[in-house]
Amino acid sequence: MQKRPNPKDKQRKHKKSICRIFFKYCLCIGFCGFVVLFSVLLYFSSKLPDLKNLKTEIRTPAVTIQTYDGKIIGSYGDLYEEVIQVRDLPRHVPQAFMAVEDKRFFHHFGIDVIGFLRAVYQNYIAHRVVQGGSTITQQLAKNILIVEGVVTHYDRSISRKIKELLLAFWLEYKFTKSDILMMYLNRVYFGAGTYGIDAASRKYFNKSSKKLTIFETAILAGLLKAPAKYNPTNHPNYAHERALVVLKAMEDQGFIKDAKKIEEMQANDAFVADTKPSKSCMYFCDFAYEQAKKILGDIEDDIIVVTTFDEKKQLAAQEAVEHYIREEGGNYKFSQAALVCLSRDGAVHAMLGGNGYSVTQFNRAIQANRMPGSAFKIFIYAAALEHGYQLGDMIADTPVRINGWSPGNYKWRSRGAISVLDGFTFSVNAVSVRLAQSVGLKKISRFAKKLGIYDVSVNDLSVALGTTPVTLKDLTAAYTTFMDGKPIWVYCITEIRTKSGRILYQKTKDLTSGIIDSEVLDLSRKMLRSVISSGTGRATNINEHIYGKTGTNGDSDAWFIGFYDPPKAKGFSVGVWVGNDIEKDKMASNSTGGRIPARITKMFIEKVLSSEVEDERVTDEKGQQKSLGAMLAAKL
């Protein structure tokens, strides 16, 4: 008799069949997922940077701009110091960073799962990103990817996150926790172009990171959240508040016992160095930086650039320009002014490229080519003197008409004929044009080129009225030549050396002979002095040692170029330009070179001379004290 099938056995077999099929599908899906995941990991791993020299190749060189006496006035590139080992730092330094950035640093494998889930929950509740979950390892990975150019700083893609995670895992596998912390502290950004704990310590506290106090460390650790906002130089109150947050985190983690007591004991002693250079001197620093690159080419080491910068002259320039823009800018309808001060051999002592470096870094002293107007006439008259004219020679001052062109004389009543000296002193256009006709534009062009002014047209008589575009720097340098007749090559760097002291460049003295005939030079100086004593530059007539010329280009540009040249002092030249960046924005019709530019020059020279007198007074007092001390010592 055949045994009847048991329904329960069929049901059991059916269930086993379903389980087998499900298992096969899962195995197939898992295998496909593994292949896909492996392919993805392989793809993104191939996009990671070469990490063979990760611990040694950290950042790019830095350029430090300083004065002849060692004061730092600017810096470029990534500022950093030596690579610091964690074992060489006080214990509270790594502890502060771990407390505020990654408190479970020694207990995770590159990703803090607990911290990540907490951040996701907090962000979900707030409906925005209020908390991050990145570990120190992840931050180091992100930094490496950005520095190596694999991703950008603003990249928020999933691709970037995958690369970051892969690199974080690799770092945890390849290096010890101490190595990772060392690399992190030496690479992390502390604001103001500063990378690494030692560079930040020297920048903000003028000390090695090996000597940081707990409160100073808290300030630096607090910087990482927002380097600009918590910069201790610019925002000391914010930096202090953020440091308290770091101290509280250190206390909660058991790294310190009493955060409040540490604040009370150390906060007042935390000296924050004033590393913020004057905005006005940054025009000079930019110029020096570009000159250093031209001298060296590729910069491979940290370098120190020693310059000709004179802080007192720069301050005088800034005060004079700011005063007249503030007091007269509205009346005369100008918004910008530039000033250059040179020594008699061409060294740049001060350079102000405009009003508002933070708004635009365009340097109007060296980058703006503007028409100098009558300030160009020195080349016409000096060429005429070289041609044989004398100061007493009479020239017709009646209006000139050449092929329909008839330039006017600004506020000048024709006398019929005036001397060459008066023509220059009162800037009579008709005299300048007639001299240019007589001498010839080729000779004028040749003379101007000797003094560094090129591109002078030899076919257009309007150049006699200053239609050749020039920069303030070049025009000031050309006028500086009239101090002693020698050619001028503008420079601002005296030495470039590495941080270790190896000399890369040193300025040598230019051994040159005069390029202006001594008689022509003497007569030219008399003309320039006459402008100041009785002509259009009377506003600058502080004393008999001031020489110069005004210039006006319609309502677009106003100039004063000249020099201070006393017999027993070094002297200096100064050039001032006033106007608007957009030439269509006209100044007031009476905005001549004899008004605001001449007044700025006067204030500048007065401030410079008063500071020199003050220096002499202090020197005398010190000398007197020294002699009194010597007498007392002798008596004893």
Q: Is the pLDDT of residue 580 over 90?
A: yes
Q: Is the pLDDT of residue 367 over 70?
A: yes
CATH assignment at residue 163? 1.10.3810.10
Percent of residues in the chain assigned helix, strand, coil, to nearest 5: 50, 10, 40
Q: What is the pLDDT of residue 290?
A: 92
Is position 123 within any domain?
Answer: yes
Q: Are residues 257 and 399 in the same domain?
A: no
Q: Are residues 261 and 379 in the same domain?
A: no
Q: What is the pLDDT of residue 18?
A: 67
Where is average pLDDT lowest: 249-263, 467-481, 553-567, 573-587? 249-263
Q: What's the mean per-residue pLDDT of the chain? A: 83
pLDDT exceeding 90 applies to what percent of the chain? 49
Is position 343 within any domain?
Answer: no
Is position 455 within any domain?
Answer: yes
315-325 mean pLDDT: 95
Q: Among the three residues 269, 290, 311, which one is the final residue of a domain in this structure?
A: 269
- Using CA atoms, how far apart are residues 145 and 526, in angstroms rounded to an integer? 66
C-beta contacts of 78-81 below 8 A and 24+ residues apart: 78/193, 78/194, 78/195, 79/192, 79/193, 79/194, 79/195, 79/199, 79/203, 80/186, 80/194, 80/195, 80/196, 80/198, 80/199, 81/196, 81/198, 81/199, 81/202, 81/209
Dihedral angle at the C-alpha atoms of 275, 276, 282, 284, nearest 10 degrees? -40
Q: Is the pLDDT of residue 43 over 50?
A: no
Which one is predicted more confidently, 537 or 10?
Answer: 537
pLDDT digits (tens, 9 = 90+) for 193-204: 788 888 888 888
Q: How confident is the model at residue 404 (pLDDT cuts 50, 70, 90)?
A: confident
290-316 mean pLDDT: 91
Residue 544 is classified by DSSP as T
Q: What is the pLDDT of residue 606?
A: 97
Q: Is the pLDDT of residue 41 over 60?
A: no
Our count of domains for the chain comes to: 2
Which one is predicted more confidently, 135 or 516?
Answer: 516
Q: Is the pLDDT of residue 409 over 90?
A: no
591-602 mean pLDDT: 96
Q: Are residues 126 and 240 in the same domain?
A: yes
Is position 110 within any domain?
Answer: yes
Q: How confident is the model at residue 571 (pLDDT cuts 50, 70, 90)?
A: very high
pLDDT digits (tens, 9 = 90+) for 582-592: 878 999 999 99
Q: Are residues 260 and 399 in the same domain?
A: no
Is position 339 within any domain?
Answer: no
Is position 283 within any domain?
Answer: no
440-464 mean pLDDT: 94
Helix residue ranges per DSSP H, 388-534 = 420-425, 429-439, 441-450, 472-480, 518-534
- Using CA atoms, how far apart are residues 110 and 103, in angstroms rounded to an integer? 13
Is position 112 within any domain?
Answer: yes
312-324 mean pLDDT: 95
Q: Is the pLDDT of residue 90 over 50?
A: yes
Q: What is the pLDDT of residue 175?
A: 85
Which one is predicted more confidently, 322 or 61?
Answer: 322
pLDDT digits (tens, 9 = 90+) for 157-186: 676 677 777 888 888 888 888 888 888 888
Q: What is the pLDDT of residue 56?
A: 42
Determine phi and psi for 259, rounding to 5 degrees: -65, -40
Which residue from 307, 283, 285 is spatially nearest to 358, judged by alpha carbons? 283
This prediction's pTM: 0.70
Q: How confident is the model at residue 35 (pLDDT cuts 50, 70, 90)?
A: very low
Q: What is the pLDDT of residue 388?
A: 95
Q: Among the three residues 424, 452, 469, which one is the final residue of a domain in this structure?
A: 469
pLDDT digits (tens, 9 = 90+) for 252-274: 999 988 888 888 888 776 656 55
Q: Are residues 246 and 118 in the same domain?
A: yes
Q: Are residues 261 and 393 in the same domain?
A: no
Q: Is the pLDDT of residue 19 over 60?
A: yes
CATH assignment at residue 386? 3.40.710.10
Q: Among the three residues 436, 469, 502, which one is the final residue of a domain in this structure?
A: 469
Q: Is the pLDDT of residue 331 over 50?
A: yes
Largest Cα–Cα distance in the chain? 152
| Structural domain boundaries, residue 390 | 373-469
State the amino acid at position 36 in one-letter form.
Answer: V
432-436 mean pLDDT: 95
Cβ(277)–Cβ(357) under 8 Å?
Answer: no
Q: What is the pLDDT of residue 113?
A: 66
Is position 397 within any domain?
Answer: yes
